[in-house]
């Protein structure tokens, strides 16, 4: 599996992503995330055997300052695995590849942050197993309290 910046060639596949409502309440579908135009948002597609299996956005700039005061941080948002590809290890593999991808494409970044709804136990567990840390920071989101998790990138 590999991570690639979104390209129009993936549009049909990522726009066809589906999630069960229990998951969709906590994250945006790729089509929803791609509708937000912002030069500081970088959509990423998770590809396996030429198929788009997952999607997320890396966001930088002033708009992420409610999550972190670190000017060199990226915010991970809208993470999803297409429902038909769930349960195959893609989420964990994507998280494992994220640090290297970030170092390669955003070399000034030294931290990745994300917000996960406290009721989204599966996602929070995935992020913690993948090396994100919970330092107790919380924000109120649209669907309730969110834990702010951080991943410190070590220099190469």
pLDDT per position as a tens digit, 118-152: 999 999 999 999 999 999 999 998 889 999 999 99
Residue 134 has what pLDDT?
96
What is the domain-level CATH number for residue 93?
Answer: 3.40.630.30
How does strand 133-141 pair with strand 144-152? Answer: antiparallel
Range of the domain at 46: 2-152
**pLDDT of residue 69 exceeding 60:** yes
pTM: 0.92
Number of domains within the chain: 1
């Amino acid at each position: 599996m590999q991570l690639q910046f979104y390209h129009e060639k993936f549009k049909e596949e990522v726009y066809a992503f589906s999630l069960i409502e229990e998951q969709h309440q906590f994250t945006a579908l790729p089509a929803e995330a791609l509708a937000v135009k912002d030069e500081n948002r970088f959509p990423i597609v998770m590809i396996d055997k030429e198929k788009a299996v997952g999607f997320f956005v890396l966001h930088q700039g002033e708009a992420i300052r409610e999550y972190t005061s670190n000017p060199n941080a990226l915010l991970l948002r809208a993470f999803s695995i297409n429902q038909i590809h769930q349960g195959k290890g893609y989420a964990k593999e994507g998280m494992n590849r994220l640090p290297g991808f970030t170092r390669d494409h955003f070399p000034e970044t030294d931290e990745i942050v994300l917000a996960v709804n406290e009721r989204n136990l599966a996602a929070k567990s995935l992020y913690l197993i993948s090396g994100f840390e919970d330092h107790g920071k919380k924000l109120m989101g649209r669907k309730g309290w969110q834990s702010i998790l951080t991943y410190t990138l070590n220099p190469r």
